[in-house]
Amino acid sequence: MGRATANKFAAEGAKVIIADFDEINGQEAVSEIKARNEEANFFKVDVSNYEQVSALVEYAIETYGTLDVIWNNAGISGTSPLLDTNVPNYLNTVGINQFGVAYGIFAASKRMVELGVKGVIINTASVFGILASENHFAYGASKAAVESMTKTAALELAPHGIRVVGVTPGTVNTAILKDVLAMGLGDQLKSYHMRNNIIEPSDIANVIAFLASEESNVINGTIIKVDDGWTSFKSHMILPDVAGGDLA
Q: What is the pLDDT of residues 165-196, one digit of tens each?
A: 999 999 999 887 877 788 888 888 899 999 99
Q: What pLDDT does 235 receive? A: 62
Q: Decide if 239 is inside a domain.
A: no
pTM: 0.92
Q: Structural domain tally of the chain? A: 1
Q: Decide if 168 is inside a domain.
A: yes
pLDDT for 18 beyond 90? yes
Please tell me the least confidently modeled range out of 158-162, 172-176, 189-193, 227-231.
172-176
Q: Decide if 245 is inside a domain.
A: no
Q: What pLDDT does 179 receive? A: 77
Range of the domain at 89: 51-57+68-226
pLDDT average, residue stretch 5-25? 97
Q: Decide if 157 is inside a domain.
A: yes
Q: Decide if 187 is inside a domain.
A: yes
Q: Which residues are catalytic?
A: 139
Q: Decide if 244 is inside a domain.
A: no
Q: What pLDDT does 169 receive? A: 95
Q: What are phi and psi of 45, to 5 degrees?
A: -150, 140
pLDDT for 242 beyond 50? no
Q: Give the CATH number for residue 132.
A: 3.40.50.720
Q: Decide if 105 is inside a domain.
A: yes
